[in-house]
Amino acid sequence: MNIIMMTNTYKPIMGGLEKSIESFSKEFRKRGHRVIIVAPEFEGMVPEDDVIRVPAIQHFSGTDFSLQLPIPGVLAETLGDMVPDIIHSHHPFLVGNTALRMAYKFNKPLIFTHHTLYEQNTHFFPGDSEAMKRFVIELSTGYANLADRVFAPSESVMELIKERGVETPIEVVPTGSYTERYAKGDGEQMRKRADIPKEAYVVGHLGRLSLEKNLEFLAKAISLFLLQEKRAHFLLVGKGPSEETLPALFQEAGVADRLHMTGPLSGQDLVDAYHAMDVFAFASQSETQGLVLVEAMASGLPVVALDAPGAREVVKDEVNGRLLMSERAEDFVAALQWVMRQSPESLAKIKVSGLEMADEFSMGRCVSRALEIYTPLAADQQYKRKQSDESGWAKAVRLIQAQWDITKNITNATKEAALPSPDKQDKPAKDPVEGEPFSTPRA
């Protein structure tokens, strides 16, 4: 198959969404499929085969992200004679709009992965408000209803977007992880690098250091844990806008000397960081899947997390960690202490349960699942490939319809956002629609 992946964010940014696109594309290619990735230009990007970069404004709204410029013809010229079998969109606006137009132009199926709870990321934009949250919810819901299939990274997200009004068939397809990579790591060497005592009990966290990850709560809970457990230390891996403010919270609690920040890590260094930890702590409630939780479990770690989409599919309370129903620092501390006080035999059972859970999210399984969905969709479209048999008028009508649907989506989302009801975001979307005014970063 010829598969086109279309995204608003890609390397050198490497969060969960970007890893997903890179990993799926790599595995599809291994299985004989051609994959072209379409993404905006970013500073520091390295040219890659079969990656098409769209001109974009850098550092949109003060972030690391780019804002795609609507320059007609760039993509069509680059694709040349290549005709896609599947068009897979990873955002419901900007490049996502281009994906919709391409699906109409080529008369091919459009897949949309609902990676992100977009309303959790509106703080990146000027004028953040409840109205904006309603706008992006309606926008993404409408876009999903213009697709032929929607991929949800977890059961929780599938149920949520159904409640919001998505009527397109939804398939649960997690990102997947190369779980075998996390089996062996040099935790002792990483502790030396991070200046952590060998005998310390290490709580760890890894991810983007940003407001939507609920890091202020996590910092307060971990600080309280460090105050109660004198041999405990906290290893924090990642980068983001919160990395400059988090140390102040530990300083205020008087435990800054036991906070160890490594910055972003990759490859074996990242694996070593997991193996330097004794327990993985996670407080984000904006995730659509628990990818880092899977990585932690594949590294043999118990996990303590707040109940939320993504986490609840991975963490089984008192089986492979602790899943907390309330956001109370005292409960989080108690859960960490529960893990800390487990016997070696009990910890071994927790580790085995975690490894079994991680195996369910292996890359091979998730790629096979995606291809099981792609294949019949592409086959159903075979008769439509005879583009030469179609008149130019028929093609033009489809492109007009695509633009009409995009405009309608923006209009409906704007109308819904203007409604005064504070709980509107929990109600189903009205008509299917889609938008283009800005790009939202993923979780």
For the ranges 27-41, 210-224, 335-349, 401-415, the lowest mean pLDDT is seen at: 401-415
Residue 224 scores a pLDDT above 80: yes
pLDDT, tens digit, 9 for 90 and up, residues 87-111: 999 999 888 888 988 898 888 999 9
Position 428 scores a pLDDT of 43
pLDDT, tens digit, 9 for 90 and up, residues 279-309: 999 999 888 788 899 999 999 999 999 999 8
Average pLDDT in the 195-200 region? 97
Question: How confident is the prediction for the chain on average, in pLDDT?
Answer: 84
Please choose, from the candidates 431, 411, 419, the residue with its C-alpha nearest in 3D space to the C-alpha of residue 129.
419
Position 391 scores a pLDDT of 46
Residue 442 scores a pLDDT above 60: no
pLDDT, tens digit, 9 for 90 and up, residues 225-269: 999 999 999 999 999 999 999 999 999 999 999 999 999 998 999
pLDDT, tens digit, 9 for 90 and up, residues 350-394: 999 999 999 999 999 999 999 999 999 998 855 343 343 444 445
Higher pLDDT, 348 or 19: 348
The CB density around residue 426, as the number of other CB atoms within 10 Å, is: 12
Domains and CATH numbers, the chain: 2-176+363-426 (3.40.50.2000), 180-360 (3.40.50.2000)
Residue 435 scores a pLDDT above 50: no
Q: The whole model's pTM is what?
A: 0.75
